[in-house]
Amino acid sequence: MPTIPYKLPTSPFKRLIINNAVIGGTSISWELQSQFCDPGPYEFTVQQANDPASDNWEDVNNTPATDVYAIILDTVRRIYDSEFRSFYRVKLESEKGTYISDPAPVTGVWSKKDWLTARQIIKKERLRFQKYVGKYGYLWKKRIFGETCTDCTDFVTQEATNSNCSLCFSTGKKYGYYPPVAIYADMIQPVSLNSVSGKGMHNDMTATARMVAYPYMETEDIWVDVSSDRRYYVGAIQPIASIRGIPIVNQVELRLAPSTDKIYELDATDPYQGELSSSSSNSSSSLYIDPSLSTNSIWVSEQGNIPIWP
Amino acid sequence: MADPQIINPNPSPLCNSPLTPQTINGIMVKLLQRYFSDSNNYLNQEIKYTWNSDFKITTIVIEPMNKWEDTAKTTGQRPALMVKRGPYKFEKLGINNKYMSMMKDRFETAVVGSSQILCIGQRNAEVENLAAEAAYYLKHFESVIRQDLKFAAFEAQDIGPCEVMKESKEHFYVPITISYAYLMSWYINPESLIWKATSIIPTVE
């Protein structure tokens, strides 16, 4: 019986390199793992979405590129916002199966050396969280794109009108948040103080947390402290470590949601699970995966489970 | 045959106590609580909240702005209608506060005041709907409120623009201004010797 000398990485992709062009003309290239040896031909399809956790990826090249090493030019303009919310991933179809790369943002390109350095820093940072100081939690990414909530959106303006809506959780988008991913936070506990001001009685408990910049986070995402089930809205995000302008570690403002907030009813299952069961590639990618750590990414990305870093 | 009228044996405290800023705060809160306790009252059926005195059940908070005690149980709960008193002014109706009276010791002045109702919620459309509902309700019933609660004037004056406030996440609020006026009259009963004002002037014959 043949023995396997080492564990193969779960993804055949090493990393994606994206040279962004705002008005169109973005080039996407990729590297495959040297250990990857599925029989050919390999058919590559580049996909784009406005959110890394999206369940609605659009094909950039309608006809798969066969056996190319790698450059696909996306001539369509994708960016219209100040956040540069555009992500690419590559789907590889070989004779043995279909593989999907981790989504990569368009925020910049690292050289191989930079990329390895970043990977080491993130690895050490995660080790520090896991072994010593981190609080284990989930990140729920807010849906910004997608189907409009059918229960509470205003007929004319398409705005959410009910902060207690069970379908969109006042995001205005159906199901409100993407399925959660696990992420540690090194937090400084917030001060609790009931006070009265121009907005009535309130207790704005704001914590500061040091967190790895991946998964990609945005204001109004939710981070949950698993042990206490306290749920926080993500506020300001300040990069505190970066390489060539690309953040690696962030200082994140976390604002405690009052216990009556609807987000306490969010659970960890994927609401789209049934609808997407026919498309396994889409469903597995609805969980966000670190864009710069393909080699060592061993996320458990089964539906309905919380992916866990080893 | 009509049912016999049942008269509430417990008269309202408003029957024999004067209107004060605190009373008017209470009136505002009670009016809104009663209205929002039944969703059948709503003009806009998109509004999904109903008020309940049990803080575990209520889906909207309606309280005076600075109330501390019970509000701690619902801190940060949104949406909310917060009643906040504005300035009160005494308006003279006549010289030396004498108005419509020839009586020497009777005085009367008008108290003109306003209150704000802050409609707070997580979404712009949500607070706009809530503010419109509360303001329209008060506007429609202002003549009844004026008559029943003995106001000289009671008017839902304006719905302010939607603003952002920072809480657990960005919240929005819309202020509704209610202006009102009521008359305050009083007597002064002199309590002094009846001879105090008697003039004793020697007369020369």
Q: Count other C-beta atoms under 10 Å from residue A184's C-beta.
A: 20
Residue A51 — very low, low, confident or very high, per pLDDT cuts 50/70/90?
A: confident
pLDDT digits (tens, 9 = 90+) for A275-308: 433 333 333 333 333 343 333 333 333 233 333 3
The predicted model gives A103-123 an average pLDDT of 81
Cα of A257 to nearest chain B Cα, Å:
5
Query: At residue B37, does pLDDT exceed 90?
Result: yes
The predicted model gives A190-198 an average pLDDT of 71
pLDDT digits (tens, 9 = 90+) for B113-126: 999 999 998 889 99
Hey, are the CB atoms on A159 and B124 less than 8 Å from each other? Answer: yes
Query: At residue B54, does pLDDT exceed 60?
Result: yes
Backbone φ and ψ of A194, nearest 5°: -75, 130
Torsion, Cα of B137, B143, B147, B149 (10° steps): 30
- Max mean pLDDT among A200-214, A252-266, B74-88 falls in A252-266
Cα of A37 to nearest chain B Cα, Å:
49
Cα of A78 to nearest chain B Cα, Å:
27
Q: What is the pLDDT of residue A178?
A: 83
Hey, are the CB atoms on B79 and A233 less than 8 Å from each other? Answer: no
Q: What is the pLDDT of residue A11?
A: 75
Query: At residue A110, does pLDDT exceed 80?
Result: no
Per the DSSP assignment, residues forming a β-bridge with A230 are A225
Q: What is the pLDDT of residue B113?
A: 94
Query: At residue B72, does pLDDT exceed 70?
Result: no
Mutation target for A interface from B169, B171, B173: give the one with most A CBs within 10 A: B169
Average the pLDDT over each of A60-64, B10-14, B48-52 and give the range with the smallest value.
B10-14
Query: At residue A217, does pLDDT exceed 50?
Result: yes
Find chain B residues with C-beta within 8 A of A201's C-beta. Answer: 63, 67-68, 71-72, 74-76
Residue B181 — very low, low, confident or very high, per pLDDT cuts 50/70/90?
A: very high
What average pLDDT does chain A have? Answer: 76
Question: Distance from CA of residue A249 to its chain's centroid?
Answer: 15
Residue B180 — very low, low, confident or very high, per pLDDT cuts 50/70/90?
A: very high
Query: At residue A27, does pLDDT exceed 90?
Result: no
Q: Count other C-beta atoms under 10 Å from residue A30's C-beta.
A: 25
Hey, are the CB atoms on A162 and B166 less than 8 Å from each other? Answer: no
Mutation target for A interface from B162, B168, B171: give the one with most A CBs within 10 A: B168
Residue A274 — very low, low, confident or very high, per pLDDT cuts 50/70/90?
A: very low
Q: Which two tokens stand for residue A128?
A: 């520090």
Hey, are the CB atoms on A200 and B167 less than 8 Å from each other? Answer: no
**What's the pTM value of the predicted model, to 2 decimals?**
0.72
